[in-house]
Structure 1
């Protein structure tokens, strides 16, 4: 067995689902983290993107970025199985679609496959005037009620600049590894973003 195959066998993988309405900034967020590039250009995701974010030498986050258009949201449950953690991206400045975003978030949390998994809500687009704060998103989404049976966190961020992204992934990783201790025995504290 080659060195690469041997290394891949030792790597522990966490399956992370990245959801949110279309234009919330999911793909921008994912590729900003993956490539640490301020000039990330993305198009609306038709279907899904899958990227591996290496965490240390022995752990990787496999992130499934699923399109958020209305037609795609109906297919979200097909991606729920075997998910270790959920990143839900909210366009904090789009108050007109906040209720729709909340409704889709609640629908996802009700699904049996996502029962009890850790959740990090990304309050994206904090750089825009009028963006709701993390506290306001927490209240509007009734997170204390909807997430009472799971670990959760709301992270203010800006996918365009990268602000808050590493912090959010660190929190998610910590929540996931605590939920599934058999998958990971180490205690590293920060995400190493691929370049």
Structure 2
């Protein structure tokens, strides 16, 4: 009887983990969100504001916020930070010209008090495209090895096929076990 009660309790008392997905416009944030939710590509338009979805993976519940990445929307990103467990930064691996903007935005977020305890997952998206930056190049350009006060992981991915996305979620789940 106690075993049955504990199983039922764990179903109803499962903690939800908040994840915010950020990145510059056209990086693939919304495509990644809906790959996790439906395991398929959904035709999207630029996100104005945010999309939020709840899903479960490997006995973990996630509330994932996909926040619009246009320049005019980035100033409001901080309104989503409270109670965030993980920050997913999506990088368009073909967008060499704006990588420095992504780097600046990422370090500003990591310095925010509401994100002091948040883990960082960097998705190097669009790895299927010719001429894209490698994950090693992105890591070097973002200076990831200097991040000491946040757990972080860089994962190559392709949002359209889903390749690499679940390896990123696996890192998040392992981080939750620690």
- TM-score, length-scaled by structure 1: 0.83
What's the CA shift for 1:174?
Answer: 1.6
Taking the aligned partners of 1:46 and 1:117, their CA distance within structure 2 comes to: 24
Gaps of 5+ in 2: 1-8
List 4+ stretches of structure 1 deviating above 3 A: 6-9
Residues 1:78 and 2:82 are matched in the alignment: no
Contact 1:134 1:155 in 2 (8 A): yes
Structure scoring higher RCO (CA < 8 A, sep ≥ 6) equals 1
- TM-score, length-scaled by structure 2: 0.90
What's the CA shift for 1:34?
Answer: 1.1
Taking the aligned partners of 2:168 and 2:58, their CA distance within structure 1 comes to: 17
Match of 1:17 among 7, 20, 24: 20
Taking the aligned partners of 1:160 and 1:123, their CA distance within structure 2 comes to: 13
What residue is the counterpart of 1:100 in the other structure?
101
Task: Name the SS of the counterpart of 1:129 in structure 2.
Answer: coil
Task: List per-residue Cα deviations over 1:125-149 (Å, max 9, x = no partner).
Answer: 001111111111111001111x211
Q: What is the aligned residue count?
A: 171
Residues 1:174 and 2:174 are matched in the alignment: yes
Contact 1:85 1:176 in 2 (8 A): no
What's the CA shift for 1:8?
Answer: 6.6
Gaps of 5+ in 1: 1-5, 179-195
Task: List per-residue Cα deviations over 1:67-108 (Å, max 9, x = no partner).
Answer: 101111000011001001111100011111111111111111
Taking the aligned partners of 2:177 and 2:62, their CA distance within structure 1 comes to: 11
What residue is the counterpart of 2:3 in the other structure?
none
Contact 2:46 2:68 in 1 (8 A): yes
Residues 1:45 and 2:47 are matched in the alignment: yes
Contact 1:118 1:176 in 2 (8 A): no
Taking the aligned partners of 2:122 and 2:39, their CA distance within structure 1 comes to: 21
What's the CA shift for 1:7?
Answer: 7.6
Taking the aligned partners of 1:56 and 1:176, their CA distance within structure 2 comes to: 12
What residue is the counterpart of 1:160 in the other structure?
160
